[in-house]
Amino acid sequence: MYTFSNRFVSVEALQQKLAAYSDEDLRAPIEGKWSVLQHLYHCWLVERGVLAYIKLKTQDLQALENVRLLTRLRFILFFALLKLGLLKVKAPKIVEVFPENMDQKDLYERLSKTREEADLFFAALPETAARKGIFKHLFIGRLNKSLTQKFIKLHLEHHLKLCGL
């Protein structure tokens, strides 16, 4: 069955990728910056925040706006520049607050729970609303369900690449 989170790197795949590393390796800063666990925790915070935003904005379906062609072009340009290394974006403070002692198991559980919640939410969201701008990205603009899925997928893949995974 197709769900909202089908396109994302699965929690099981993340667990398999990280199984070869010790907890110490996963907590060690990469080039003096975030550790692997911090990158993944950040990605979970983003997924959770995006879902919370969408739940709030879809309470009034009449207020949703259409996604503009310019937004679609900005989306493509944004991720192309990121992939080429020509663009660096500083994460908002709210999605870079990490607990002192991160636990892999807890992180996987949080990510699984958030994705289950998103899958249930989007299964119930009318398709007409899903085609509207349900999430507003700071640089790209209003994204519909499909673009939001691509954003989350590409965002996670970007952070995995930064971790060398």
CB 35 within 8 A of CB 41: no
Give pLDDT tens digits for 87-102.
999 988 999 999 988 8
- Over residues 4-15, mean pLDDT: 95
User: Mind listing the pLDDT tens digit for each residue in 24-75?
Assistant: 999 999 999 999 999 999 999 999 999 999 999 999 999 999 999 999 999 9
What value does the mean pLDDT take over residues 70-90? 94
Distance, in Å, from the CA atom of 59 to the CA atom of 68, rounded to the nearest integer, reads: 21
Q: Give the rounded distance of the alpha carbon of 57 from its chain centre.
A: 18
- Give residue limits of the domains in the chain: 11-162
Q: Which helix (H) or strand (E) holds 96?
A: none
Alpha-carbon distance of 96 to 46, in angstroms, equals 9
Distance CA 113, CA 96 (A): 20
Q: How many CA atoms lie within 13 A of 18 on its CB side?
A: 25
Q: Give the number of C-alpha atoms closer than 13 A to the C-alpha of residue 121, restricted to the C-beta side.
A: 22
* Domain 11-162 -> CATH class: mainly alpha
pLDDT band at 143 (very low <50, low <70, confident <90, very high): very high
Contact 64, 139 (CB under 8 A): no
* Alpha helices (H) along the chain: 11-18, 23-27, 36-57, 69-84, 104-124, 127-130, 145-162
**How many Cα atoms sit within 13 Å of 96 on the Cβ side?**
9
Q: Give the pLDDT score at 1.
A: 64
pLDDT at residue number 78? 96
**What is the amino acid identity at position 13?**
A
pTM: 0.94
Q: Span 133-161, mean pLDDT?
A: 96
